[in-house]
Amino acid sequence: MTSSEVKAGFLFNLAKFVEWPDTAFTSAREPITFGIVGADPLGNALSRAVYGQSIKGRTVTVHKYNFGDDLRSCQVLFVSASEQARLPQILSSVLGASVLTVSDAQRFTEAGGVVQMAVDEDRVHFSVNREAATAAKLQISAKLLTLSRVIHHAGVPGMK
């Protein structure tokens, strides 16, 4: 399995352990949208991983964004490590929206992202910024939290 396939599978499965508020969707039929911003390290692996799948009764779509696009229209946003220098702007752009931000960029959770992942020999290690999840009004399953490194008192853009 390639690193991009491992990341894509993790991203898809991660979303199964998150609850979004009803306000994160415009209707009961709106799909869960996975967004990708930056150089796409997932290739077509994410599209293949989610093809024909659903999460909590919602179909799943994948959308590629460019820096400066409205990133608030997705529920899961993968921020490529290529966007390391723009993390503050990207995270600020989704502040107040119920967007699960995920990245493989270094110090992502410390910058205010929700989940940071790293792949080591086909295994994913990840940390969760609970304050960022709470600020985004996301409920992350206790089962998932027990498998992660939980970051406390990390930065959340725009919050004191």
Strands 32-37 and 58-65: parallel
Question: What is the domain partition of the chain in residue ranges?
Answer: 3-151
- Spell out the alpha helix ranges (H) of 60-151: 87-93, 130-135, 142-147
* pLDDT, averaged across the chain: 89
Say whether pLDDT at 1 is over 90: no
- pTM, full prediction: 0.90
Domain 3-151, CATH among 3.40.50.2300, 3.30.70.1350, 3.40.30.10, 1.20.20.10:
3.40.50.2300
Residue 160: the pLDDT is 40
Cβ(41)–Cβ(104) below 8 Å: yes
Residues 6+ apart with CB under 8 A from 81: 38, 39, 41, 103, 104, 105, 106
Count other Cβ atoms within 10 Å, centred on residue 82.
Answer: 14
30 DSSP assignment: P
Mean pLDDT of all residues in 40-49: 85
At 6-42, the pLDDT tens digits run 889 999 999 999 999 999 999 989 999 999 999 877 8
Burial of 145 (0-12, 13-18, 19+ CB in 10 A): middle
